Structure 1
C-alpha cells in the first residue's frame, strides 16, 4: 500500500498570514475551530494551531476577539472592532426613532453583519449612556428592563405627553399618565405643571359633556360648555316672551349679565364687518392657485387682515363647502405656541399649515 502523504504545518509566518487572511475574508465572526476547518484543505492545522496566531493578532490590534456565545462555546474573532460596529448601529437605530427600546428590542432590530444578544448589548448601551450619547429610561412595567433613547428622560416624557394629546385630543390625567409609563406620581405632576406653565398644555374644566378635568394641546373651545345652557336658556326666553317681555329688553338684560361676568358684546362694526374674499386673495398671493398651488395660512391671514378666530372660521367654512383642500400639520404638539398661532385650527386638535383651491372652484 502506498503510504498516506502527510501535510506539514506551515511556518509560523505563513500560518499567521493565512490566519489573518481567513478572518479578514470571513463573512461573520469565526472561532478558531471554524477557521482551522476553513484552512484545512490547504494546510494541516487544527484549532490549537491557529489559536496562538489569532491571539497574537488580537494583541497587536489587527483582529478583535468577541466573547463566546455561551458558557461552553469558544471565543470568536473578527477583523473589525465589533463593539464599535454595534455602537454605531445602536446609535443609528435610536437616532432614527423617538421610541425607547430595551436591549432585547434593539437586538431584534439591528440589521448589521453582527448579531448581538441583549446581554452583549447591555454594556455597549451603558457606555453610550455614560458618554452622554443615549439616555436610560425606567422600565415600562414593574418587572421590565431599562429602556434607552436619544432623549433625556424628562424631555422624552414631555414629548410623550404632547404626542398623546396631539393624537387623541384632550385627555384626563389618568389617561395622560398611561402615556408615560414608568413615571411616578410626583414626576408626572411636575411634568404636567411645567407644560401648563409653558402653555404647551391647557386645562379643560369639567363640563361640555365630560365630568372630569382634561388636558389638551390648545385652549378649550367654549362652544361645548355653553351648549349645556342652550336648552334652558331657550326655554327661559320663550317663557319671558310669552309673559310679554320684548326681545330687545331681554337682549339688554343678557348684555348686563355678560358685563357682570366680565364679558362685553362685540362692537357693531365687528359684527357687521364683511369677511374678505379669501379665494380671490389666494389667487392674488399665488398666481398658480387655480392649478392647486399651495398657499400658506400665515400669508393668507396677513393679506386678509382679520383676527385669527374669524380667519379660521372662514377657512374652515370654505373647506366644508368643498372649495378648499386643507394641509394638516403632522405633529403640532412639537410646535411652540407662537408657531401654532400661525396655523388654522378647528378646535379639535387639528392644525393646518395652509390650503389649496380645488380645481372646481370658480
Structure 2
C-alpha cells in the first residue's frame, strides 16, 4: 500500500487562519449573549418574558435569571453565563451589567486584534485598567455604618427601582433592611447568611399583603381533626424525628388472630404504648409538637392525635428533613430522635404559636 506523500516540515501546523477564526467565533458568541440582555439594563430597560421547558412563564429583567433559562451551547457563551452567576453569588446584583461590560471589552479587544496587537498584551492592558478602575471606585466610595438605617434604606430602594415592584419600594425596602439587621451584630458583622431568611409564597393577595415575621412561618397546617389547639401562647416547642404511631417490624409479616380477646389485647397494648409516648411529651412541658415527615409509616395516627388534643398539645406534621436544621436554629430547639431523649432542655420557646388563613390557604406563624 502506497504511503501518502509527506508534507514539507515548514508546511506542518502552519494554518495561521485557524486561531484567528476561533477567536472571532468566541467573541461573536459572547457578544450575542451580551446583546440579548442589553435591552433589560437601566431604568428604561424592558422586562423579558421567558417560557421554560416545563411551560412555566417567568417575567424578569434580572440578567442571571434570564441567562439561566437560555439554552446556550457555545463554550464562550457559556462562560458569560458563568460570569453572571458568579456575580450573583458574590454581589447579589449587577448580573446584567457584568455581561454587557464583558461584551463591550471583547468588542474593543476585537478591534485591537485586527491591528495586530498580541492577545497577551491586550489581556495585560485590561488587568492594568481594572486595577486603576478599582482604585478610582474606592476613592469615590462612601462608607456606610450598619447602624445608619437611613442610608441602608436608600441603598435598598435604589436596588428595587429597576424591578417590577419599584412602586412598592417604600414597603419592601424597610422589610429587606430589617430582615438583615435582625440577623447580625451591627457593630462587628461583615457578612450575613441569607440562608437564615426564608421567603414564603402563597397564591392570591397583593404585594401590599407582604409582611415580615420575626420568627418562623410553616406552610403545613395544624392537625385539628381531633380537636387540638391551633393557638398557643408562651409556646414550648419540640421537633421530633420519631413517629407517634404503632411500631412496625422491619420485615413484612402477617398476624392471624382467632380470638376476639386477643384482638382486644392488641388494641389495648397499642393504646397503652401511644398513651405512654404522649404522657412523656407532656411531662417535659411541651405544648407544641412539630413532627418530621416520615416515609416508612404514618408520622402520627388518629389515636395519638386524640391523646395530644386532650392534653392541649398543638401538632404540625410533615416537616421536611432538609428544613429541620433551619427550624431548630430559628426556634432554639434541638431535634429529638427518640422518646427516651425527650427532655425540656431540647425545647424551643416562642411568645405565640398561631394558625392564620389567607385567601383560602393556611400558614402557621411562630
TM-score by length of 1: 0.24
Q: Please tell me whether Structure 1 or Structure 2 has the larger radius of gyration of its CA atoms.
A: 1
RCO comparison, higher one (Cα < 8 Å, 6+):
2
